[in-house]
Every structure is written in C-alpha cells, then in structure tokens.
Chain A
Amino acid sequence: MSEWVRICPLGEIPRLGSRVVQTGKGDVAVFRNSSDEVFALRDQCPHKGGPLSQGIVFDRKVTCPLHGLTVQLDSGEAVAPDSGCTHRYRARVDKGEVYLNLS
C-alpha cells in the first residue's frame, strides 16, 4: 500500500488559499502559496483549535482566523514569540495533481 493519496487538481486550490480534506485522521488543511508550493497541516491552531484552513496565507505562513496566531506552513510551528505546534503532513504536486501523505 502506498502512503500517498490523491486529493484534487492544483487548480482547485486558489493561490494564497486552501481547501479542507476529510481524512481518517480528521480534517487536514491543504494550502497553496504564491509560488504554487503546497503544504498540509492538521486543521487546528495550536492556540485554541481554530481552523487554520480559513486563515490568510502568505509566504510560507498562515494566520489563524480566530486570534491571529501565525503558523509556519512548512513545519506546523507557531511563529515567535508565540509557541505551539500543529501536525504537519507531507504534500506535493505531480503533473498538476495534489498528493498528500497521511503517515
């Protein structure tokens, strides 16, 4: 069995936006930044559990819509001086399709 799963064509995630994927491990937020890199995080802010998928995306970061904590997309860690971490999953684009690794 492969650990990678196919999600959607890249075009279905807006640039500087995100989509939510329902998985066996809960909701996962998949982000696309302005350089067309994709990232995946557990859709829960380390602060008070806000849905990170609904935040504003910039660079390799997302700002939680609830209280403004900013989380690093490539590590899941909160940007200092805040602290905390949310689970990061691997994500990639191949031939225009977005793949996620949930292991």
Chain B
Amino acid sequence: MTTTKKTRLVVIGNGMAGMRTLEELFKLAPDLYDITVFGAEPHGNYNRILLSPVLAGEMTIKDIMLNDVDWYAQNGITLHLNKAVTRIDRVRRKVIADDGTEADYDRLLLATGSNPVMLPVPGKDLPGVVSYRDIKDTDEMIEAASRYRHAVVIGGGLLGLEAANGLKLRGMDVTVVHLMPWLMERQLDRTAAGLLQQSLEAKGLKFLLEKQTAELIAGESGRICAIRFKDGETLPADLVVMAVGIRPDTGLAEAAGLHCDRGVVVNDTMQTYDPRIYAVGECVSHRGITYGLVAPLFEQAKVCANHLAQFGISRYTGSVTSTKLKVTGIDLFSAGDFTGVEGAEEIVLSDPAGGVYKKLVIKDGKIAGSVLYGDTVDGAWYFQLLRDGQNIRELRDRLLFGQSHLGNAGHQGQNKAASMPDEMEVCGCNGVCKGTIVKAIKEKGLFTLNDVRKHTKASASCGSCTGLVEQILASTLGGAYAPTPAEKPVCGCTEHTHAEVRKSIRQHKLLTIPEVMRFMEWGTPDGCADCRPALNYYLISTWPHEAKDDPRSRHINERVHSNIQKLGDYSVVPRMWGGVTSPEQLRRIADVADKYHIPAMKITGGQRIALAGVKKEDLPKVWADLDMPSGYAYGKSLRSVKTCVGNAFCRFGTQDTLGMGIGLEKAFWGMWAPHKVKLGISGCPRNCSEAAIKDIGVIGVESGWEIYVAGNGGTKTEIAQFFVKVKTQEEVMEYAGAFLELYRQEGYYLERTAQWLQRVGLDYAKCNVVDDAKNRGVLYRQLLGALAARKDPWQERTREGFEKQEFKILEILDEVPS
C-alpha cells in the first residue's frame, strides 16, 4: 500500500552553486531525495573561478574538476549532461529539456547561473568573437591563440584582465579596451588601478582606456579581423573577448511565471515565489542584490540545503564580498566600500617605487573597505575585521603594518603563509604541515576554516595557527575564500549566535539546558559537546542562584575537577594561596605522592605543585588526604594568582603583594568564567609575576596600584592594557571584580578576556567599570553574590559523596541464563 517513494528533487544547472547545495544536503540528509541534475555543458561540475589559470596554462581542466561523473553515480544522482532545460511546467511539476527529456519534481532547485553580456554592436556574432564564461569559451581562446596573433579584450574588469593575461601568456598580442578612465573601477581606486596597469604593461599587455567600441569588422574569411571605436580609430583583431559583465540567467524562470527582478527573487531561505522552487547562485536576486562571486553562493547553498533537508533553521542575510585578481605575480585584493564613503577617513600607505599600495577606508571606527596592491598578505585579516564590524580604534596606529605586527606570529616566527615551504609545520599541536593543508583544500574541495579543521585537524586544538591556516585558504582558493565571521552560530546544532543565546537566557529567564533548546529551537535532541558546555556556563553565570550546574554538560576536567591526561589518568593541583606554602603542607603533599604512587610532581607556572598521573578512582582519596582546596587548574575559571614577594622581603618592593594576591584569590576562587582567568600581582614595575600577560595584572607602585587587564601569555601573546590606577586593596578588589563580572556576563564561551576586550573595546569596559561608580558597585556585588554559595568541589566529593558514581568502576555482577 505505502511504497516509500522518495521525494523528487530536480536541479537545473550543474555548476558550483547547485552542486554545492547538493553536497551540503548530503551532509544533513543523504537519503531524503531522489535527485536529477540537468547540465547544459557536457562536463561534470568544475571550478569556474579557475578557468583563468587554465587559460594561462598553469592548470588543466582535470585540475579544476570538483565533481566528476563518478561522483554523481556514487551519490545515486541521475545526471543529464549536455541537455538544456527549456521549460518548467509548474502545474504538472516537471521540467522538459531541449532533447525532450522530462523529469518530475516535488522540489525544484534553480541554479542556472548567469550569461555573459554581449555588447549590442554590429559584428557581435562573427566567428572569433567570444565571451569568457565556460570551458568551451576557454578552449576556443586557447585554439585561437595557437593560430592567430591579435587579441582584443573588451572590458578591464577582473575577468577581462585575467583573460588578457592568459592570452598574452599564450603568445598573443593583447590589447585591453575599457570604457572607464581606470581598470577595475568597481574594485580599485585610481592609484591602485594605476599600479596594476603598470605591472600588466610590464608583462606586455596594452591598454586603451575611455574607449567605446562601435563595430566589429569581418575579414575575407568571414572571421573577425578588426575592431572600430566611436572615435574612428581601428585595431586589428583576430580574436575579440567580451568581458563586460554578466547577467543572471532568468529566462526559464520568467517563462515559468516566477517573479524576477534582475535575478530570480528569493527570500532569506532561498525560496522563490513558488514554494516548491528554490534558487541559488548567480541567477538569484536576494534583497535586491545579485552576486557574481563564489563565496556568497556557498553561503546560499548552505542555507538552501538546510531547508531542503527540512531542518528549517537557517537564514541567508546577504554577503560582504572581496576580490582577488588571479594573475600570477600580481597581488591585488579589494573588499567593501573604498571610494568616497560619506564621513569616512582613509589610511594610506603608498610606495609606488616599491610597488606597494594599501588603503583602508574607516568609518565610525570600523573598516568599511580596503584596497591592497603588491602586499596582500593581510587581505583576509582586514576582510575579517570588516565583516565582523570590529572596532579598530586601538589597532589604528599599527593597522596598516599588518596582523604580524600585533604579536600574532605563527610558529617559528612564520606569519606569511605564502613564503612557507610545503613541508613546514603550520599546526604544532597536531603536526600538520602546509603541504597537507593545501592538498586537502584542493583534493577535498575545502572552503572554510572549519572544513580544514575537520579534515586535517590543523588549527583545531589551540588555534594559534588560525591566522596562518586562513592565509593558506585565501592563497589556495583566491576569491572563493570566505572567512568565518565572528558572529557565527554556537555550533552545528543551531543557527543562533552566542550573543543571541545569552540574550534569550537573560530576557526569558531560561533556567535549564532543555528549556534553552526548546525555546531557541535547537536542531538536535541533546545538543553536542560544543554547545552543552557553553549553555551550561551561560545559565549558571546568568542565574547563579537559580540555574543548576549540569555535570553531564561539563568537560570531564570540570566534572571530576582534575585534568585528564593523555593516558586517561589525571593531574591534581591543590590551591596554594598566592603561591605561598609551608613545610607542613609540603610534607603532606609528599606523603600523598608516596601513598598513591604518584609518578610525577611538577612545579607549575602558577606557583603551585601538580601531582601528575593519579588514577581516577584514587582522586577522592588523594583529595581527602591532601586536605587542601582545589586549585581549579582544569577549569574555565579562576586559576592561579601569581605573586612576587613584594615589600615583605624584596628590596625593591613597594607594596604588600602577598596580602593583595591572597586577598584576591580568597575573594574570587571558584569563579566560573567563559575561559580560564589568571591573575598576577607584582610589587614594582620589574614585574616578576608577569602581571603584563595576565587577565588581570596588578602592579604596585609607591603611590598605589596600577591595574592592567586582558593580557594573555598563552597561544597568542597579548600585553595587558592599562585600566586604572587606585590607592587601596579594597579598590583593587572592587575594580578587578567588576571587570571580571562584566566579562563573565557578556563574554562568549571560550573567549579569553583578551579576545573579549578586542571585540567590545577597552573604552566599553572603562565606561562600565571605571567611569560609572554605581555600575561598578553593582557588578562587584553581583560577583560576590554569585560566589556566596560556592563549595570547594573536592570537599563536596570527599565529604558529601557528590557524584560518587564517577569514581567507582563497575564489575560484572552475574551471568544470566538466556
């Protein structure tokens, strides 16, 4: 009776947008549809962006195939190559191709792409006049280059210049004709365009600017032989490439009565006006914008797949795009608005002799656009800052010198991926070298940082090489690279960002993880190992007295209050207030180490002692015998407070640092935070406790205490920034506590104080804590309130038997008859 027949999905268009949508769909719901694909070209899906390197002879068609014919077969897709769909019958829900092939659909995906614009001049249909769009055009140009001499490219945009460069490399005499006063006027300002033109001229290309084509003239053979301009001048031409723009291919959609406005109009779920029909790629018009670059298409594909998979939790809200010219030996990058934005300022570095030009357009303290020529290493970084809308006021004076000048050097001081040899290690944590990453990007068709993390593990651990991996992505993919925005969803279970989740928990007083997941329509039943710890933290930090901590949503370290080690045993670090110990305490630690055969002891960087290699089932006994509080050396929480001896012993000491450090530690121990928090207290500016690289650094001077915030000595060294100078220990406690509480309430999970402050700006923290005494008091009291009910977790487990099943191994009780 019920034959479980699968829903039928038909895809019109076998290009990058359509196939990317299918790939994304297979990740979510591999067996949902019976899929048919129509492609007008006789090839599988190839990377259209890389046609330029093919034309230039740097790659072959085989190199740029993304999905060969086998891929379709492996995924059970019915593939119709070389068949152009000519009609969509929306009433009978079927599509008809030019050879009469028909296919019924339940859902239809339009990915028809765009058509090149051909100038409406006499002679535009002559043999030898081509557009530059597909493999056929490329083949025709390569063919012509082997037989003819004079090529004219009409259009000095990205595509035109890449075509011209390729033809020149194939030995033709190439002239680029452009209507506008400078090249790539939509991506470049006049200065950068001038530099570009010079470099291209040095490669032998010729340019005619502000020239309008009047007519294409046929020779005796009937093939094009010359081009005539409006001003009467003529040029010999055996090949004319029209690269004056593209136009969304909406013919089919319009004929089927779908609403089109320049492109096929879609909503934020990529659905057209017919709810059974979706559209992605260059053929669509979304919020009035059509896109001709690949990064937005991939974002659309992801959203569309999510809806086709019936997840329904994703929206496309538009893209900011960037451009990179793929001409070997020329580095050019542009993104955003870069010409005369109202109220904008410019920061420019211009070294025409050295061939370097960088311009950043700044508006309201944020990057609005950038043009880079000659040195584009930081293009991806500027683009990221642009997309994230990050406030750059504090970076401003160093911004143009690049990210490496901000202390973000990679391993072995490498910060320029392009100059690294293939065998050089990029990710020190997982031992991944550059060549492995490049190979994975090319062979597995990776496009995002997350893809690379998943497939190679590079940048998946400590993250300090993220900048390098992004550079490798950018240089391997060119314009197809889309950096991950900071405002990304918490994880794959939801489309909501950390900010949205925090806001909902506060506004709607959500108190449990299931409540949050229901309210925010989580896409998975129990979340995952990424989102559950984040949600747990947001709940207990927002509602400290009402939300209950969920041990099952804690990483093992925080669940058993010790650090898991590579062999599955644990390290135990008891708290030593301010790094101060006593003979009695040391004897006890030594006795415990003997009694439990603890294989290693280590003095930690936080001035404490670690007992390494403890078996899990021994943990409660070790804690009980130590009879010291937990040092939280495992937690996203207050870790150590590092001190120097201060004026108690030191001849330079100006203040009682031991008292200050112990006071702060006793006040704030047990404080959970988005990430770990470390404090350093020094008694003079010599800074023996390394206060300048701590989340909070307190430095004593004769006249009081200086407080520094948001330093970091870990994966990415950040020098703490001066926050405020105060007189008394009480003031230090209040300012530091208020700052930490602000971070606790507003930071995103796994964001250190340094990253958080980079996101919100030092001024924001100062406004809330330094300038506003009332707010400072409120924050400080909130922190003390949240800490009022804390219990030492080791005591809770040894004396109260909390979570005791954790530390007991089960044995087989009995065998049962079957």
Contacts and interface: CB of A to CB of B under 8 A. Distances in A.
B529 A68 contact: yes
B528 interface: yes
Nearest to A24: B812
A6 B552 contact: no
Interface in A4-34: 4-8, 12-17, 19-23, 27, 30, 33-34
Interface string B777-818: 000000000000000000000000000010011111111111
A19 B810 CA distance: 7
Interface residues of A, number: 44
Nearest to B805: A12
A81 B454 contact: yes
B436 to A, nearest CB: 14
Given A63-B529, A66-B566, A6 B805 contact: no
Contacts of A12: 805, 810
A53 B86 CA distance: 57
Nearest to A69: B457
A5 B813 contact: yes
A61 B460 CA distance: 20
B25 to A, nearest CB: 15
Nearest to B550: A16
B683 interface: no
A37 to B, nearest CB: 12
Contacts, number: 107
Contacts of B813: 5-8
A59 B524 contact: yes
Contacts of B460: 68
Nearest to B568: A51
Interface string B163-202: 0000000000000000000000000000000000000000
Interface of B: 454-455, 457, 460-461, 524-529, 532-533, 551-553, 555-557, 564, 566, 568, 805, 808-818
A67 B815 contact: no
A70 interface: yes
B526, B533, B553 — most chain A CB neighbours (10 Å): B526
Interface of A: 1-8, 12-17, 19-23, 27, 30, 33-34, 48-51, 54-59, 61, 63, 65-68, 70, 81-82, 99-100
Contacts of A54: 556, 564, 568
Given A14-B552, A51-B568, A65-B555, A56 B812 contact: no
Given A20-B809, A21-B809, A58 B816 contact: no
B492 to A, nearest CB: 11
B809 to A, nearest CB: 5
B816 A99 contact: yes
Given A5-B812, A54-B568, 20 more contacts: A2-B815, A2-B817, A4-B818, A12-B805, A14-B552, A16-B526, A16-B553, A19-B808, A21-B811, A22-B812, A34-B526, A54-B556, A58-B526, A58-B528, A59-B528, A63-B528, A65-B564, A66-B566, A68-B460, A82-B454
Given A5-B812, A34-B526, A65-B556, A58 B818 contact: no
